[in-house]
Amino acid sequence: MAEEQVLAARTRRKLSPTLIIGAILVAAVVLAALVSFIWTPYNPVQAVPADRLQGSSAAHLMGTDRYGRDVFSGILYGARITLLVGLVAVGIALLIGTPLGILAGMRRGITEEVTMRGADILLAFPALLVAIMFGAVFGASTLTAMLAIGIGSIPGFARVARSGTLQVMSTEYIMAARASSQSSWRIARRHVMPNIIGMVVVQCSVSFAIAVLAEAALSFLGLGTPPPVPSWGRMLQESQQFLGTYPMLAVWPGSAIAVAVLGFTLLGDGLRDRFDPKLNGER
Amino acid sequence: MDTSHNAAGLIEVKNLSITTKTRTLVSNFNLRMHPGDRVGLIGESGSGKSMTASALMGLLPEGVSAQGSIHFAGHEGNLVDASDKQWQKIRGKDMTMVFQEPLTALNPLMKVGPQVAEIMTSHKSVPSKSAARTRAVEMLASVKLPDPQRAARAYPHQLSGGQRQRAMLAMALANKPGLLLCDEPTTALDVTVQRQVLDLILESVTELGTGLLFITHDLSVVANVCDRVLVMNNGQVVEEGSTEEVFTNPQHPYTRGLLAASDLNATDEQGRLFTVASAAAYVPPTTNELEPQAAAQPVPVPEQLTAGEPRFPLPSEAEPVISVEDLHRSYPVARSTLFGKPSEVHALRGVSFEVAAGQRFGVVGESGSGKSTLLRILAGLDQPTSGSVKVAGNQISGAKERDLIQLRQQLQIVFQDPMGSLDPRMRVSDIIAEPLLAPGQKMDSAKQRKLVAEMLGAVGLPQDAADRFPHQFSGGQRQRISIARALICEPRVLVADEPVSALDVSVRAQVLNLLSDLVDDYQLTLVFVSHDLGVVRHLCDNVVVMNNGQIVESGSTGQIYDNPQHDYTRTLVSSSMSLRSELSLR
């Protein structure tokens, strides 16, 4: 009965436009990725020299590139890579960085010093550098790009989680919890995590956006997804020399990246507000 | 027919209403002041008193607008429609304000002297920059800062709270304004400092002939400072009159309720504080009674307590519930320079006392006295540097987390901040049930629910409160939740850390009554930590007074309040204000 009331309260709440727009944009990217598994207008890697560098037409919705590959098919297929890289990279950073940050914030002392200085050192290596290193050692692939971006994003999560934890730990409700002999694990789970989730969600959406851009950059540099698999970043790179003559070649993958980044950012903001009971209008 | 520009008038506010798009915050506010008038604006949080002050200064926040008319001596036209440019000429020169929080109201990166000087140079009230600097030091001297030259060279954080508020006052008075607005200027200050700052404000405005509009929730402060009072409730002035009139013969039921709830010296026939609900039976102080010194006030110590007059330390017939012996706590302070010596702050130095079962034990002290450190150590949240602490048979000093579980079943805390002490992400039922989840406790959810429901009943909250979140409750209700959480595991000792200092007066009385009832019902030993002597006097039978990490005096409440021995206690008692004593001093 109590549960029903809660659910009723949840559904009564109006969805914020931020959340709706973000969800629509993300859904579009996800849909594109899913569709690419069963159908693309053309084989995205199939070069058809006869059809090269065509503009938009009924046959080729977004035209073709310099090898005659269908851009629309490439965009659909590229969504897979983008989502995969984003999710895996953010997942790595979230699952490693957040617990480390919480630990540092709760334990203080030597634990905090070691964790945070470790994070600082990691931060001193740009994700790109790590990716180049990984690429040199393991060979350029989507996997190494994902790993590199994920590892590079760990310090961000650790810092956000730690600063949030410090804030929470200084409150009186933590004192009250400690005065009731709650174990550290329980305090972390019941008090710290729910109270920093908003910050972490925002960090997720920001990191996701950064990961998408980083993947594009890595592919652009030839360190990400190797050709011929289409990725938005590499499509952008390949369009570079045609910017003056066929600008639409850059516009399509560029817009796709923009949509994905914007979508995840908005979704993150919307989710953060939604998770916050204080922003729940009813009193 | 513009009569508002009466030659003698200082400010005339007519029909002022303050609205947002959807709500009316203040309606039909009228005020007329002459130069040198001292008017008090009383109200609880949300009454619209601060909004009114902002409107008078032309400082309403975005999205809030004012209608009506404000006419201010020496300035043409209705100031409600004044432009920013016009306001800039008035603010800081003819009309100034002192805010509640002196640390945030001063620019932390600017030295105090230049801040005072800037007010004068920007209004061109002094001929040159160097003149402004000299004048700034004079101003700082006039607000009785001990070493004005040095104070002028200090940054705000190098001054104490009281000193900062003096500096604020120096800024406010630098241009000899016609009207000084004070928005709760002493609420953030300690009792002894509050008295000094109030005296200073009073002295300065009298000397300069400045009109004073004093905004506060504290009736005794108004009784001390103001000639005339406006009582605001829900955006409306419900009563207006001379201070004596309003405080001795309140007409409006709200004023009566507020007076009744503020008056900690008056209790109903059951020895409970008056609340807004029971205010009808309240007899306001009469001028008659006030004429001879207020010393003749009956001390409202409940009878069963006066009978025993428990002396300190108690004869040890029974094992004391809390015994503290030679307690020291010092904190290392991080080195400020690489080769500097790490220094230490001594929060507690040699504190010893005992609390017998069933006592209501008050700990009184100002900020920095070490009372909060003491409380944290009692609760096992901090470890003493040396000394021994025993609570309900558990030795705390040197104990491991595991050993403290037992202690925490016996001792629970109610915290000061009603918002910060409840996890905003948790439902009230989970918050209250938290102490039941201590390791080693077996508790099925049905029993837990039953206990939570019981506690909600005990603290007077509706049962449906369990499913809601803390932010859906008012401050007083949140403090009730806090009390419910503290009592659910049936502790023997309840430690309350300033539990009512963040609450409005009318709510304060209710929470104090509740606390008092529960202490009786559950046969608790109460340790009540507070800076407010009035509250401690009402609630506690024994008191220790702390200063600088030491107990300077201890004894029964009556003894301490009526016959303080230590100098510090005397200052504290004479500085603390009660409605009756302030009225009698007028």
Residue range A166-177, pLDDT digits in tens: 988 888 888 888
Please measure the distance between the N-terminal and C-terminal CA atoms of chain A and give it in whole angstroms.
19
Tell me what the pLDDT averaged over chain B comes to: 82
Please measure the distance between the N-terminal and C-terminal CA atoms of chain B and give it in whole angstroms.
39
Q: Is A176 within 8 Å of B472 when comparing Cβ atoms?
A: no
CATH fit for domain A17-34+70-275, picks 3.10.20.600, 1.10.3720.10, 3.90.1150.10, 3.30.365.10: 1.10.3720.10
The yes-or-no answer to whether B1-94+178-242 and B322-331+344-585 have a common fold is yes
Instruction: Give pLDDT, residue B318.
Output: 65
Task: ipTM value, please give it.
Answer: 0.71
Average pLDDT, stretch A26-49?
A: 78
Instruction: Give pLDDT, residue B340.
Output: 64
Instruction: Give pLDDT, residue B313.
Output: 42
Closest CA to B272 of B511, B576, B481: B511
Among B376, B401, B434, select the one facing A177 at the smallest CB separation. Answer: B434
Cα–Cα distance, B252 to B265 (Å, whole number): 21
Beta bridge partners of B355: B322
Beta bridge partners of B40: B214, B229
Give A-chain residues touching B466 at CB under 8 angstroms.
2
Written as six digits, the tokens of B341 are 């010596």
Mutant choice from B381, B423, B464 vs A, greatest count of A C-beta within 10 A:
B423
Cα–chain-centroid distance for residue A104? 24
CATH fit for domain B1-94+178-242, picks 3.30.499.10, 3.50.50.60, 3.40.50.300, 3.30.470.20: 3.40.50.300
Cα–Cα distance, A184 to B128 (Å, whole number): 62
Instruction: Give pLDDT, residue A3.
Output: 42
- Under the banding of pLDDT at 50, 70 and 90, the label for residue A81 is confident
Among B415, B425, B439, select the one facing A183 at the smallest CB separation. Answer: B439
Cα–Cα distance, A250 to B485 (Å, whole number): 61
Q: Write the DSSP assignment of B434-502 as a string of letters.
A: GGGGSTT----HHHHHHHHHHHHHHTT--GGGGGS-GGGS-HHHHHHHHHHHHHTT--SEEEEESTTTT
Q: Which residues of chain B have pLDDT under 70?
A: 1-8, 286-318, 334-342, 440-441, 586
Q: What is the DSSP letter of B311?
A: -
- How close does chain B come to A269, measured CA to CA in Å? 18
Instruction: Give pLDDT, residue A161.
Output: 92
Residue indicated by tokens 């001795």: B248
Give A-chain residues touching B417 at CB under 8 angstroms.
172
Predicted model pTM: 0.77
Cα–chain-centroid distance for residue B172? 23
Specify whether the CB–CB gap between A176 and B470 falls below 8 A. no
Give whole-number Cα distances, A15 to A261, A263, A275, A279, A281, in Å. 21, 16, 12, 12, 12
Handedness of CA B332, B336, B342, B344 (dihedral sign): negative
Query: At residue A139, does pLDDT exceed 90?
Result: no
Q: Is B405 within 8 Å of A181 when comparing Cβ atoms?
A: yes
Instruction: Give pLDDT, residue B440.
Output: 67
- Under the banding of pLDDT at 50, 70 and 90, the label for residue A92 is very high
Instruction: Give pLDDT, residue B303.
Output: 40
Question: How would you write A239-254 as a 3-class SS string?
Answer: HHHHCCCCCHHHHHHH
Tell me what the pLDDT averaged over chain A comes to: 80
Between residues A220 and B509, the one the model is more confident about: B509
Q: Say yes or no: B411 contacts chain A, CB-CB below 8 A.
A: yes
- CATH code at B322-331+344-585: 3.40.50.300
Q: Which of residues 202-261 of B touch A (CB under 8 A)?
A: none
Among A180, A182, A283, select the one facing B472 at the smallest CB separation. Answer: A283
- How close does chain A come to B300, measured CA to CA in Å? 33
Cα–Cα distance, B109 to B102 (Å, whole number): 14
Half-sphere exposure of A203 toward its Cβ, with a 13 Å CA cutoff? 27
Instruction: Give pLDDT, residue B5.
Output: 45
Helix (H) or strand (E) holding A20: helix A17-38
Among B401, B424, B485, select the one facing A176 at the smallest CB separation. Answer: B485
| Count of other CB atoms within 10 angstroms of residue B187 | 14
Return contacts of A3-11, CB within 8 angstroms, 24+ apart: A5/B467, A6/B467, A9/A280, A9/A282
3-state SS class at A119: helix
Among A181, A194, A195, select the one facing B438 at the smallest CB separation. Answer: A181
Cα–Cα distance, B32 to B506 (Å, whole number): 28
- How close does chain B come to A258, measured CA to CA in Å? 34
Instruction: Give pLDDT, residue B292.
Output: 41
Give B-chain residues touching A277 at CB under 8 angstroms.
424-425, 469, 471
3-state SS class at B251: coil
Query: At residue A162, does pLDDT exceed 80?
Result: yes
Give whole-number Cα distances, A14 to A8, A11, A19, A216, in Å. 12, 8, 10, 36
Give A-chain residues touching B437 at CB under 8 angstroms.
180, 182, 186
Q: Which of residues 101-160 of A touch B (CB under 8 A)?
A: none
Written as six digits, the tokens of A12 are 């009564």
Q: Write the DSSP assignment of B339-407 as a string of letters.
A: SSPPEEEEEEEEEEEEE-TT-EEEEEE-TTSSHHHHHHHHTTSS--SEEEEEETTEE-TT--HHHHHHH
Instruction: Give pLDDT, residue A248.
Output: 77
Residue indicated by tokens 């509250």: B535
Instruction: Give pLDDT, residue B1.
Output: 39
Instruction: Give pLDDT, residue A93.
Output: 92
Beta bridge partners of A64: A70
